[in-house]
Structure 1
């Protein structure tokens, strides 16, 4: 369920030399896309190639070149550079050492000069698996949709539901965000996140837990908030697919432990029996659990929401500061409002954004889910296509 934030295709932050460079960064950026493949290695410092293979670099160059054509110009801007290609543009950042070799390089999601929703959908359909898309303007107008009411596994994006219930409960009970919850061993989960490594008994405010749950997709934070709210309150309004509503800790034990008997008992039980199984899991440890790279029971053990539901959820949370910490696949500096939550596990990839270009502009919720029960989703390609979708609808 680790969340992959794929704004950058390639990034390494190393020391930047203060020596005056004989070769301009603009020229080197052009050379990356112009030199023969046999000479590409000569542009990079050995320290960079120790961390990123030449094959990875070639794949990225070929991906951008194949989609955008030949590079035409490089323009400097506040955040780095804008690469101008025959068929579009892409943001970039670069650092050179005293020998004019690349020690830091980043390419952002590209934008096609001539792009449209039909072309983007066609490319998305080429990705294996089930696809759902919902783009809604101002929580009223469906701008674009594809199987938007189909409930699919969404990974950690389920945490938007937890956040919304938390806001509802605090407002209804007139409670304070500074209320303290102690970190408990029974609610420690696996990464993503940081709280699983903190000592038990650490006092944490509700705001700290909610910030970490959304911005870092902290699973331990989510499980503490699920306990705080109560499982059955979280289940209110949900359909049977999400009952009982799982903690992430329970998810990992049921799905990825080597206890197949426990897994089958849970899957073959009725709702009340499932609740009994979950009650017995709090004492189990997570030491021997490994997620792996292949999809496991994504149609049986997960959290299930439609992209239409997720688009509505994130819009209702438009004033929540939690969703604005991590802006996902976009640069928050380009927006008045940039909210995000995503989720993933092998076979599951989900991106949900809330975007507004200027203070008085329309607000767009853009949600995309891909499920593939046979193999892991191509997250890099899916992220690039989602960025294209955002650009076509809202503008990067």
Structure 2
């Protein structure tokens, strides 16, 4: 494998900074830029995804504009992109070829951006999008920027916010405690980790909720849905402010949704779509009885399947109201759980004293929903759902747009 072209430079830190420019632009493989220990901790695919997100947000990397070296083979590097200024803390190996041993994104500030430009890019996405940024206060949320905010769309795993809300409501009402222990008795397909755990493992409701939100653990969400009660989760939807809660009745478990989308019996999906609510409920036992081993997400070739029918639905305005309810009524435990996995780059998250997130994705569907407290103590929600029944959608592309919206909203308005 070839060494980086700049390996012989007199200034190894600047040389590696130049290699970062090449890497961000897709002109150098990760193995040429980062050392083996770094890539064991953060695999090439993961660091490549970060580079793609930065590129989507800021454009191509243009140049290294500053290098502030420290004495320990590290320093702060400033890289100019087409639309932003990226500040990185780099650490490099002491010995040639001085590959990068540590990298931290400290800031990614837009050169010049506007919410109008973000909206234009949102509207240009192929398919259908519902987007909103709202300011939260004592009264109803106030929209700051929006595109089709009242249009319900498939939201993927963002439905887990509704289960979290019912858990928080019940804990506040004294019907249950976060520390209550229940057996792990529902298994679903990944994502998450619980699908590999022993049946019957004791779990607190808090641990299940934390995994459901931070790892989007489908098995955890199904256990909670069963323990809390499907009807109770359905009943909380109007309380959260969903304008069309009937779209989510019956409220599907992930196992049931996967049985509709990925099961061998394709007639189940057709029957479910054609049925009224009572008919759909009558199908639930058959869906729940479908063995997980028979469910194959690749049966559809990775194409969007049932995203307009066998799903969970909400508009961006619904999700703004849901996050506002969690802020006001969810309590400290729910807010701490939402903040475990920020869903955005570190530099963006650090601009807010509080930063909570839940999203979801599957072929043809991606949602990102953020609840954040600004340094002026104002609260905002930024949320977007992007659906395309004809093709896959890009989490990185939407993530870049949401990063821009969050940074534009960070200082108040």
TM-score by length of 2: 0.79
Residue 166 to residue 260, structure 1, CA distance change in 2 (3 Å) = same
Displacement of 1:307 in angstroms is 0.9
Backbone CA RMSD of aligned residues: 3.3
CA-to-aligned-CA distance 1:187-214 (integer Å, 9 cap, x gap): 2111111111111111111111111111
Equivalents in 1 of 2:58, 2:142: separation in Å?
Answer: 36
Alignment counterpart, residue 97 of structure 2, candidates 100, 124, 127: 100
Structure 1 partner of 2:294 = 288
SS at the partner of 1:281? helix
Alignment counterpart, residue 353 of structure 2, candidates 332, 336, 340: 336
Structure 2 partner of 1:268 = 274
Equivalents in 2 of 1:246, 1:373: separation in Å?
Answer: 20
- Which structure 2 residues correspond to residues 297-308 of structure 1 after superposition, within 5 A? 297-308=306-317
**Greater relative CO, 1 or 2 (CA 8 Å, sep 6+):** 1
Equivalents in 2 of 1:299, 1:379: separation in Å?
Answer: 19
SS at the partner of 2:396? helix
Displacement of 1:156 in angstroms is 0.5
Displacement of 1:45 in angstroms is 6.2
Displacement of 1:44 in angstroms is 3.1
CA contact (8 A) 2:21 2:61 kept: no
Equivalents in 2 of 1:142, 1:76: separation in Å?
Answer: 44
Structure 2 partner of 1:254 = 260
Equivalents in 1 of 2:75, 2:258: separation in Å?
Answer: 41
SS at the partner of 2:288? coil
Residue 80 to residue 166, structure 1, CA distance change in 2 (3 Å) = farther
Equivalents in 1 of 2:98, 2:190: separation in Å?
Answer: 36
Structure 2 partner of 1:160 = 161
TM-score by length of 1: 0.82
Displacement of 1:245 in angstroms is 0.6
Alignment counterpart, residue 319 of structure 2, candidates 299, 305, 310: 310
CA-to-aligned-CA distance 1:318-360 (integer Å, 9 cap, x gap): 34211011111142444210111011011111111111233x5
Q: Which runs of 5 or more residues in structure 1 are unaligned?
A: 1-20
Displacement of 1:39 in angstroms is 8.2
SS at the partner of 1:280? helix
CA contact (8 A) 2:13 2:69 kept: no
Structure 1 partner of 2:6 = none
CA-to-aligned-CA distance 1:205-238 (integer Å, 9 cap, x gap): 1111111111111111111111112111211235
- Which structure 2 residues correspond to residues 343-362 of structure 1 after superposition, within 5 A? 343-358=360-375, 360-362=376-378
Residue 33 (structure 1) aligned with residue 21 (structure 2)? yes
